[in-house]
Amino acid sequence: MKRKALSVFLVLIAVVSLCACGGGGQTGSTTLNVYNWGEYIDLSTLDEFTARTGINVNYTTYASNEEMYSKIVSGAASYDVIIPSEYMISKMIDEDLLAELNFDNIPNYQYIGEDYKGQDYDPDNKYSVPYTWGTVVIVYNTKYVDEADVEDESIELLWNEKYAGKILMFDNPRDAFALAHAKLGHSMNTQDPAYWEAAAEELIRQKPLVQAYVMDQVFDKMLGEEAWIAPYYAGDAITMMDENEDLAAYVPVEGANRFFDAMCVLKNSRHKAEAEAFINFMCDTEIAAQNAEEVCYAIPQVESFKLLDEETQNDTMVYPPKEVLDRCEVFVNLPAETLELQSRLWIKLKTSYR
Amino acid sequence: MSKGIAVGNKKANLFPFSSWMVVFVLVPIALVVYYALTDVDGFTLSNLRWIVTYGGTLWLSVKLAFIATVICLLLAYPIAYSMSRAGARVQRNATLFIMLPMWMNFLVRTYAWMTLLEDNGLINSALRAVFGMEFPGLHLINNHGAIVLGMVYNYLPYMILPIYTSLTKIGGSLIEAARDLGANGGQVLGRVILPMSVPGIISGITMVFIPSISTFIISKILGGGKDFLIGDLIEDYFLGNSGVVNYNIGAALSLVIMVMILAATFIMNHFDKDAQTSGGGVI
């Protein structure tokens, strides 16, 4: 008797939990799956979006374009809105993964500055709406790093043996190789195998000095002063500098990557209209400004920019002057052979043991 | 008592087990084999040669997993032994305490070690405060030692529990009998207790070695993501973090590891033959 009661109970649990998993839409409202970089949104805007539209948001994050891409092509999960960087957007357009947007549903697109439209990654403005942009900077802790070592604002700081064990490095090959290419004076988009081999040599030479290869963990390690030097994205660097006053940053003189992240809808999205509503919402003048205050990246919305406090508007880390931007380079999508080589060399770096 | 469950059609009774095995064991293994032995052009064995290319990575993984397993065994046996000889209440509580950390998420537990081992972590801060050690102190993290520590810490319970179970099955009367027949302490341990706990030791070794050799998250968190273990390499091929997604090579590497583990288990089962009856069992 007891056993029977138990099995009835177990079946009940199974049924209830199945309902809970399979549900999501049972209240009649739609759930939008938004997939974005970690630490890259003001989360309260998501609640505001749900309050205004009744559309629920299932928000998940990734640490690199590559991670996002492989998750999507594996078909392991279905997403509606994604926010990749420019080179990944061109790759995904080429592979027919992105949906053409219906801009009638995105009236707020009018607020996007002209400079940010018609970029190489989406020349006809069909697939993407710019979200934020920024550059890669080198963050360092003024308490431990000598003034003399940062005076020249060079990328060489990342190879300075004086700070062995206190240097962090990007844990994704595209950003890591870009630094090595810049150090050697190559284009970050070079397709010359010899240049890639040379850049790999630089990274292998740097490896003994590197404390760890990290992405979002950079926050913990730099804020806790476990590490003293790290290359990272400008907006996140500013977030860190706000929290630890000893941190400072510069765009290296040798050049750095300038990136544009833009909102896209996946071709297989079943909630395209809702996804466009979300994109429209994020471009709302006040929402975009509020979001920019939180994430500290530069925004393409002209009106929203005017709402930012003066300090942010004049912050050359967020909105670098023209001469700095001129030495920055935007990634383009690399051909398959170059990606193969990059992958092989990255694994070589990670498997060169000492 | 247990007859009640066994009656009826034997095959039907096995249904939950066999359907689980098919869906969650056989099908995934078949997929791994399929991907490992194919590429875009169809059947090929060329994916398998990558294990030679990555021989150094495989060697490092085997080495670290082996060290972790040996340390676990050396730590676990005395713990398991003293537990098995304690009173019922102590045994219950000790088991509880060993299981307790496992209630917490694996990742959280591993991250916790980060805050202990870092240059600014608790251990180094304490050394500086108490012994006036100079900054930065001991290098405890982002090296192979930290990876082994992570393995030992996370998988130690899987070594203690099977050994403990096999030791509790050795009745006190057997030990008394051995003593009556003139065996001294060392002989009791070496010729009675140890041989009878072999099944537990073997399942412990298996349960520590296998997750250790295939881990990728411990090396990332405690190793600073610097040196790939074979698990990191497989993860990279499946997730394409390095820029290329290649299920075929990833699956081929996994297949080689699986075959190696299977072979090792087979050999160990051989040792286990005499002790089969005392329970425990491998995997």
How do residues B65-101 score in pLDDT, each as one tens digit? 999 999 999 999 999 999 999 999 999 999 999 999 8
Q: Which residues share a beta bridge with A214?
A: A170
One DSSP character per residue, B197-260 reads: THHHHHHHHHHHHHHHHH-SHHHHHHSTT-S--HHHHHHHHHH-TTS---HHHHHHHHHHHHHH
Residue A348 to chain B, least CA–CA distance (Å): 10
Residues 6+ apart with CB under 8 A from B66: B209
| Residue that is written with structure tokens 């240059």 in the block | B119
Whether B146 shows a pLDDT value over 60: the answer reads yes
Query: Which pLDDT belongs to residue A18?
Result: 45
pLDDT at res. A285: 95
B118 with A174: Cβ contact below 8 A:
no
* pLDDT in the model for residue B277: 47
Q: Nearest Cα to B283, choosing from B169, B205, B218, B214? A: B205
In the numeric block, the tokens 């394409």 are attached to: B240
Nearest CA in chain B to A76: B239
A-chain CB neighbours of B139 within 8 Å are: 165
CATH class entry, domain A28-133+259-322: alpha beta
pLDDT of residue A62: 93
Helix B247-272 to helix B27-36 angle (10° resolution) is 120
Contacts of B244 in chain A (CB under 8 A): 339-340, 342-343
Beta pairing partners, A132: A261
* Chain B residue with minimum CA distance to A352: B227
Residue B271: pLDDT band (50, 70, 90) is: confident
pLDDT tens, A284-338? 999 999 999 999 999 999 999 999 999 999 999 999 999 999 999 999 999 999 9
Phi/psi at B258 (5° precision): -60, -45
At residue B182, does pLDDT exceed 80? yes
Q: Burial code of A132-162, b = ≥16 C-beta within 10 A, e = fewer?
A: bbbbbbbbbbeeebeeeebeeebbebbbbee
CB contact under 8 A, B242 and A347: yes
Q: Rounded to an integer, what distance in angstroms lies between the CA atom of residue A341 and that of residue A345?
A: 6
pLDDT of residue B6: 52
Q: What is the pLDDT of residue A3?
A: 47
List of residues 6+ apart from B184 with CB closer than 8 A? none
Query: How far is residue A169 from each of residues A166, A216, A327, A332, B149, measured CA to CA in Å?
Result: 10, 11, 21, 22, 24
Q: Which fold has domain A134-258+328-350?
A: D-Maltodextrin-Binding Protein; domain 2 (3.40.190)
| pLDDT at residue B5, rounded to an integer | 52
Confidence of residue B272 (pLDDT cuts 50, 70, 90): low
Judge if A28-133+259-322 and A134-258+328-350 fold alike in CATH terms: yes
CB atoms A171 and B236 under 8 Å:
no
CB-nearest to B57 from A70, A173, A351 is A351
pLDDT of residue B8: 62
Amino acid found at B61: S
Q: Where are the domains of chain A?
A: 28-133+259-322, 134-258+328-350
Among the listed residues B22, B3, B7, B5, the one whose alpha carbon sits nearest the alpha carbon of residue A7: B5
Print pLDDT tens along chain A (354 aa): 444 444 544 444 444 444 444 434 444 589 999 999 999 999 999 999 999 999 999 999 998 999 899 899 888 788 999 999 999 999 999 999 999 999 999 999 999 999 999 999 999 999 999 999 999 999 999 999 999 999 999 999 999 999 999 999 999 999 999 999 999 999 999 999 999 999 999 999 999 999 999 999 999 999 999 999 999 999 999 999 999 999 999 999 999 999 999 999 999 999 999 999 999 999 999 999 999 999 999 999 999 999 999 999 999 999 999 999 999 999 999 999 999 999 999 999 999 998
| Whether the predicted pLDDT of B273 surpasses 70 | no
Task: With beta carbons less than 8 A apart as the criterion, state whether A111 and A302 touch.
Answer: yes
Task: Band the pLDDT of B266: cuts 50, 70, 90.
Answer: confident
How many contacts, defined by CB atoms under 8 Å, are there between A and B?
84
> Confidence class of residue B11 from pLDDT cuts 50, 70 and 90?
confident
Q: Tokens for A29, please give them.
A: 């409202």
Task: Please state the rounded mean pLDDT for residues B200-205.
Answer: 94
Chain B stretch 83-122, residues whose beta carbon is closer than 8 A to a beta carbon of chain A? 118-121
Could you give the domains of chain B? 54-278 (1.10.3720.10)
Q: Is B224 on the interface with A (CB under 8 A)?
A: yes
Three-state SS for A89-156 is HHHHHHCCCECCCCHHHCHHHHHECHHHCCCCCCCCCCCEEEEEEEEEEEEEECCCCCHHHHCCCCHH
Residues 6+ apart with CB under 8 A from A348: A200, A204
Q: Report d(CA A159, CA A241) in Å as an integer.
A: 22
Mean residue pLDDT across chain B: 90
Q: Provide the pLDDT for residue B243.
A: 86
Q: Would you say the ipTM is above 0.85? A: yes
Model pLDDT for residues B107-141, shown as the tens digit of each residue: 999 999 999 999 999 999 999 999 988 887 899 99
Report the length, in residues, of chain B.
Answer: 283
Residue B7 has pLDDT above 70, yes or no: no
What's the pLDDT score for residue A249?
97
Among A235-244, B179-188, B221-230, B262-271, the range scoring the smallest mean pLDDT is B262-271
What chain A residue is nearest to B227 in terms of C-alpha separation? A350
